[in-house]
Amino acid sequence: MTTNRREFFKKTTLGATGLALTPSFSNLLAAPAQVAPVNSAGFPHRFVFVRKSNGNLANQFGLKSFSSEQKKKHDEKQAFELDLDQHELPDWLNALDGHKENMTILHGISMSISGGGHYSYSGCMGAYKAGRNILSNIKWATVDFELAKLFPSPFGHVEMSLAVPHGRDHRTGIVSGYSAPAPKQRNYCYADPMTAYNELFKSVTNTDEVASDNSLLNYLYDQESRRLTGLKDEERLKISDQVDSLQSIRDRNTKVAALGDVITKHLPKIDPIHANGGSDATLMQKQAAYTDIIISALASGLTNVVTYTIDDLGTDITSLPENEEKTNIHAVGHGQGGRSAFMRDVIKTHHMKQVNTLVTKLKAIPEGKGTMFDNTTIIYMPETGAGHHSPDTEAPMVVLTGKNSKLDIAGRYIRLPFHGTEGHMTQSNWFTTLLNAYGNPIEHYGDLDLTMQRNRLKQTGAIQQFMV
């Protein structure tokens, strides 16, 4: 379903049933509650999760310059670490060669907790099996929303996506996302760069529409507030929640208006080809536009947490110049054609170009005595583990962390003990580590792994060796 803000307001607050604003849409538009807003350096920490489909094949994350002993450990999935500055990266990672001191190639985290099938939906960000993402399967807020609570911003968490559901050419507008603000709630996200641009930066690009939106908000707030008179119990609670949601959005708009100068300073330039949903834009153009929007949204202070689905099995890759066979991501995952391994590397190479742009541009923006990247973590992760369908017993990922990171992992190739063995760490342990490091003392986030349970192995808590 594609919708926009004004349509949603009218449908949910003026319709015959008087529905309250759904929390998932409110999170797209409104600010979260205020808690500890900055780190010890006086700035918020920022997170960018880049989700990709089709898994990450473990052999494509090995290093060319492994010694014979290191190669043996890598092939046999034994735990070891090494310094990246002494090694040559895989070709597809060459775009990040200049950022080795900030990079971690992380092996050994399993995704069996959430994996299975072509998609993990909300599961890969929530550490649970989401099935086909029906609301009853969404167990709790995904980790990106939990991190956004620790570092509040006007927009809170922002989600954008190049995912294309089966049977469609592309999606535009505001659509269902994969992150979740709370149990049994699905997030909404921006499905094309122009929609993200228009919604995030409209306070300086379209002041007339902002004024119109604010007038509508004020009208709805007054109308719904009046309805509280004489109501009791559940009816009063429902309308009261709706009034609170409207007020939250009004507060958000006030905060955004106060950022006008800094938003103008960091306003991205977006190619007109992205107008009207960007149906004529290539995949590379869409990815580049989203990257610029993410940088601007972070630099403007509109958000501190972004989740970006850079592709899924339906994303059209025929515009990639290396894709001579005009294959698709699903076929690549099944090894069809003679160049599936090559195309896997091509896809990741283009992804890394965008990650490099994120890191390079954030390093160029001053913040305090350093740069914005000093207070940023970027996580490039597979949605489903180490392959198209499986295995989900490991999920190789690339992590970029700035010098103010609360994680002690930068500059290293790290392979953790394999799934089902002593010392193995799951997706739940990884997310617990992120939350603990940045201020949420939760004992354990996410589901438990059945294999680890059967083997009677410890599997709760953070990865202590990663903690500063």
Q: What domains are there in the chain, each with its CATH number? A: 26-206+275-402+416-466 (3.40.720)
Tell me the pLDDT tens digit for each residue of 136-192: 999 999 999 999 999 999 999 999 999 997 656 778 999 989 999 999 998 999 999
Structure tokens at 300: 């403007």
* 160, 267, 379 from 29: Cα distances, Å: 13, 19, 24
CA angle 141, 142, 148 (to 5 degrees): 90
Beta-bridge partner residues of 413 = 82, 105
Cα–Cα distance, 149 to 284 (Å, whole number): 32
pLDDT at 390: 73
Residue 7's pLDDT band (cuts 50, 70, 90)? low
pLDDT at 374: 98
For 126-134, the CB contacts below 8 A with 24+ separation are 126/180, 126/446, 127/426, 127/427, 127/428, 127/431, 127/445, 127/446, 127/447, 128/446, 128/447, 129/447, 133/178, 133/186
What is the arithmetic mean of pLDDT over 220-233?
74
Residue 257's pLDDT band (cuts 50, 70, 90)? confident
pTM exceeds cut of 0.85: yes
pLDDT at 13: 44
Cα–Cα distance, 296 to 265 (Å, whole number): 9
pLDDT at 27: 58
pLDDT at 39: 64
Residue located via tokens 């940045």: 438
Residue 414: phi and psi, rounded to 5, are: -125, 120
Tell me the pLDDT tens digit for each residue of 284-303: 999 999 999 999 999 999 99
pLDDT at 353: 98
What is the arithmetic mean of pLDDT over 84-94?
96
Residue 309's pLDDT band (cuts 50, 70, 90)? very high
pLDDT at 35: 44
pLDDT at 29: 53
pLDDT at 33: 40
CA angle 429, 435, 437 (to 5 degrees): 100
Residue 2's pLDDT band (cuts 50, 70, 90)? low
Residue located via tokens 């890394």: 352
Structure tokens at 314: 């339906």
Tell me the pLDDT tens digit for each residue of 433-465: 999 999 999 999 999 999 999 999 999 999 999
User: How large a percentage of the chain has pLDDT more than 90?
Assistant: 69
Mean pLDDT for all residues in the chain: 88
Cα–Cα distance, 126 to 113 (Å, whole number): 10
Cα–Cα distance, 448 to 264 (Å, whole number): 46
Residue 223's pLDDT band (cuts 50, 70, 90)? confident
Query: Does residue 34 carry a pLDDT above 50?
Result: no
Q: 64: Cβ–Cβ under 8 A, 6 or more apart, which residues? A: 87, 88, 89, 90
Tell me the pLDDT tens digit for each residue of 48-71: 999 999 999 999 999 999 999 999
Residue 226's pLDDT band (cuts 50, 70, 90)? confident
Cα–Cα distance, 285 to 136 (Å, whole number): 36
Cα–Cα distance, 468 to 465 (Å, whole number): 8
User: How large a percentage of the chain has pLDDT more than 70?
Assistant: 88
215 versus 404: which is more confidently predicted? 404
Residue located via tokens 């392979």: 415
Query: Does residue 5 carry a pLDDT above 60?
Result: no
Residue 21's pLDDT band (cuts 50, 70, 90)? very low
Query: Does residue 36 carry a pLDDT above 50?
Result: no
pLDDT at 393: 94
27 versus 70: which is more confidently predicted? 70
Task: Residue 269: count other Cβ atoms within 10 Å of its Cβ.
Answer: 8
Q: How far does the chain reach from its first CA to its final CA, in angstroms?
A: 43
Burial label, 334 (beta-carbon count in 10 A; 0-12, 13-18, 19+): exposed
E runs forming strands in 258-332: 305-309
* 259, 300, 303 from 151: Cα distances, Å: 17, 14, 9
Query: Does residue 305 carry a pLDDT above 90?
Result: yes
Query: Does residue 224 carry a pLDDT above 90?
Result: no
Tell me the pLDDT tens digit for each residue of 368-413: 999 999 999 999 999 998 888 778 999 999 999 999 999 999 999 9
